[in-house]
Amino acid sequence: MVNKPELTVVLVEDDAEIIEAVTLTFKIRWPQATFLSTDSGQEGLTLVEKHNPDLVILDLGLPDTSGYNVLKEIRRFSHVPVIILTARGEETDIVRGLELGADEYIVKPFRQMELLARVKAVLRRQEAVSEELPLAIGGMTLGPSIRDLTLKGKKINLTRTEGIVLGQLMRHVGHPVSHAVLAKALWGEEYPGAAESLKVYVRHLREKIEENPSDPKLLLTRIGAGYQLAKPE
């Protein structure tokens, strides 16, 4: 998907300057990309359902509804990669967006090359992860979708980003996986702030797989080395 010249993007955004900036940014890498833009969350849902795009870029502050509501509705019927692009930079906003199923969260103002790097990484991992599943270790199985986790017979829904992090840890079970390795799996490269983003994803994973997230027994922090998955019983 990353190398194909045609790319269909649905952009749900009410700021004309942002629409222009995003469109120009994409022309650097995908000059033939097709953009379908709207300032309406409801219209954005219709576009996603009708056109089955390769990517959705979603603002949170929309005139008719919350971007969070749009994201929740998209996830009812589609696994399309969604990048939130918003002025809201509070941790609670980022956490909520990722928990609802966003694949990336970028705070405005954005840098052109960072946006391109994040988009390319999202599309690359969208294409690659399906070839590596399912993974099974002890009582833990990830797959057939990167979002589908079964732990001791219990089905747990993950975001795509959480699934990629967990998949990396499962492949190296019992051994630390560095921030750099996890960042490369997620974004293609490490970038400033990657470690902080990883903390958010790991915290969410712990809330889903640990009996006591404050005292983790499965997903362990290894100071100076990264994160490690202990083999589930």
Mean per-residue pLDDT, 65-87:
91
> How does strand 55-58 pair with strand 8-12?
parallel
Indicate whether this model's pTM tops 0.75: no
Helix (H, G, I), strand (E, B), or coil: what is residue 67?
helix
Between 133 and 203, residue with greater pLDDT = 203
DSSP string, 153-188: TEEEE--HHHHHHHHHHHHTTTS-B-HHHHHHHHHS
Rounded Cα–Cα distance for residues 25 and 176 (Å): 37
CATH of domain 133-229: 1.10.10.10
As annotated, the residues of the chain forming the CATH 1.10.10.10 domain(s) are 133-229
Q: What is the pLDDT of residues 104-116, one digit of tens each?
A: 899 998 888 888 8
The predicted structure's pLDDT at residue 14: 93
The pair of structure tokens assigned to 22 is: 């995003």
Nearest to 108 by CA among 84, 80, 82, 92: 84
> Model confidence over 137-182: pLDDT tens digits?
989 999 887 888 999 999 998 877 888 899 999 999 999 999 999 9
Q: Where in the chain is the domain with CATH 3.40.50.2300?
A: 8-128
CATH class assigned to 8-128 = alpha beta
